Amino acid sequence: MQSLILKSGRERSLINRHPWVFSGAVKNMPEAENGEIIKVFSNHNELLGYGFFSPHSQITCRVFEFTSVHITIDENFWKDKIKRAFELRKLIIDSSQTNIYRLLHAEGDFLPGVIIDVYSTVAVVQILIRGTENIKEFIFDALREIGIKFIYVKTKSNTQRLEEVTTPSSWVGEPHVMPIEAKENGIKFLVDVEKGQKTGFFIDQRENRKILGAFSRGKKILNTFSYSGGFSLYALANGAELVHSVDSSKYAIEMCDKNVEDNFINSNHQSFVEDVFEYLQKTEVDYDIMVLDPPAFAKSSKAVANAARGYKNLNLIALKKIKPGGLIFTFSCSQHIDRDLFRKIVFGAAADAKRNVRILRQFTQPDDHPINIFHPEGEYLKGLLLYIE
């Protein structure tokens, strides 16, 4: 096993257990292949841990084990990580009401480069780097051992290009017929892991959808960027007077309509295949509650300025339109827009709208998306519940 040696004075982040080694911190680059497991040493030849090598990335190494002693990394090592993650989910997920959850959250579960989401008996595995591609068979075996019947690998095209991951999006063994029927807090959802966004559903909004439900009785609610209707179904299940779902994707709205039909015999729900900004500008409905849950506007640090303008414009339109005494659930899932910046963006929109705005709650991701305390970058979802006079 080859070794990577850090420059003098660059050990502090590793000693503090941050799992990323950036190329500028490396003194001696190992002659290892992309994805190979390497040892990480300080400039004083002290072993700091083991990680996946990625020579063509700015993040040269992703550390998966911090240790000062030499260890054996075999099949059981990887299976144990998956099983520990599963034990945590059994503590925090009520399986009688919910079988949609994140089983493994990359650095949040001390296994960088892989995300695993579960929909009933199906696990969707996102392989993000070559290192986890090299151990995929151990991951699949671990999933089978905890009772997963179907496994689907979902690989992004940019991951294949940038990280040299060669595994295509495909079923491992027997495929499951699409869509999958699963449940979240007792509400039925149809999930298409093959064609759907992310791994098929936005699991990270589960607790925030539940909070929306608590405010929904008798209210007129607009769910923008609605995708397959997550927030809409919670509103309907909790007695909303009217629910409108808006998304630019025809496929997403078709899934949303199917989910509504499967859960409710009669409902005052209407969906619109439209650009959200255009819909907000022209609507004359006096909504009591608006949900603003857009896709990540900032895919990289270079996109932050444009993304900030996008978030501000979206919130400004909503703040001008919402009725007095109304609520806005506003979110950002852009990792490069941190909590403080997002709040400043919304502040700017509120100032321009010239309305009194109060923050009632601050939102984050649920417990099955744990944040490694040494890796704050893992906290990507942030949101605010606003009360507008």
Residue 241 in this model has a pLDDT that exceeds 90: yes
How many Å apart are CA 20 and CA 57, to the nearest integer?
Answer: 11
Residue 267: CB atoms within 10 A of its CB come to 17
How many Å apart are CA 17 and CA 101, to the nearest integer?
Answer: 27
* Residue 256: per-residue pLDDT: 97
Sheet of 114-119: strand order equals 100-105, 114-119, 122-127, 150-154, 170-172
Mean per-residue pLDDT, 350-357: 97
**CATH 3.30.750.80 residue ranges for the chain:** 75-180
How many Å apart are CA 66 and CA 50, to the nearest integer?
Answer: 7
Q: Which residues contact 64 (CB under 8 A, 6 or more apart)?
A: 19, 49, 50, 51, 52, 81, 110, 111, 112
* Residue 298: per-residue pLDDT: 67
Residue 157 in this model has a pLDDT that exceeds 90: no
What CATH architecture applies to the domain 3-66?
A: Roll (2.30)
Residue 162 in this model has a pLDDT that exceeds 90: no
How many Å apart are CA 309 and CA 329, to the nearest integer?
Answer: 18
Please name which of 134, 175, 115 lies closest in space to residue 33, comparing C-alpha atoms. Answer: 134
Name the CATH code of domain 202-388 (choices 1.10.10.60, 3.30.2040.10, 3.40.50.300, 3.40.50.150): 3.40.50.150
Query: pTM of the predicted model, to two decimals?
Result: 0.95
Burial of 70 (0-12, 13-18, 19+ CB in 10 A): exposed
- Classify residue 58 by its DSSP letter: S
> How does pLDDT run across 88-118, given as a tens digit for each residue?
999 999 999 999 999 999 999 999 999 999 9
Residue 321 in this model has a pLDDT that exceeds 80: yes
How many Å apart are CA 337 and CA 279, to the nearest integer?
Answer: 25
**CATH 3.40.50.150 residue ranges for the chain:** 202-388
Which SS3 state, helix, strand or coil, does residue 350 take? helix
Q: Which is higher by pLDDT, 330 or 157? A: 330
* Residue 299: per-residue pLDDT: 72
**CATH 2.30.130.10 residue ranges for the chain:** 3-66
Mean per-residue pLDDT, 298-327: 91
Residue 364 in this model has a pLDDT that exceeds 80: yes
Q: Which of these is catalytic: 333, 337, 349, 350?
A: 333
Mean per-residue pLDDT, 158-167: 86
Contact 297, 307 (CB under 8 A): yes
Mean per-residue pLDDT, 251-264: 96
Residue 216 in this model has a pLDDT that exceeds 80: yes
61 is catalytic: no
| The pair of three-digit structure tokens given for residue 376, joined into one six-digit string | 């704050």
The CA-atom distances, in angstroms, between 27 and each of 9, 161, 168 are: 11, 27, 35
| The pair of three-digit structure tokens given for residue 192, joined into one six-digit string | 């298409």
User: What value does the mean pLDDT of the chain take?
Assistant: 95
| 75-180 carries CATH number 3.30.750.80 | yes
- Report the DSSP beta bridge partners of residue 4: 40
User: Percent of the chain having pLDDT more than 90?
Assistant: 89
Contact 26, 20 (CB under 8 A): no
- Phi, psi torsion values for 23, nearest 5 degrees: -60, -35
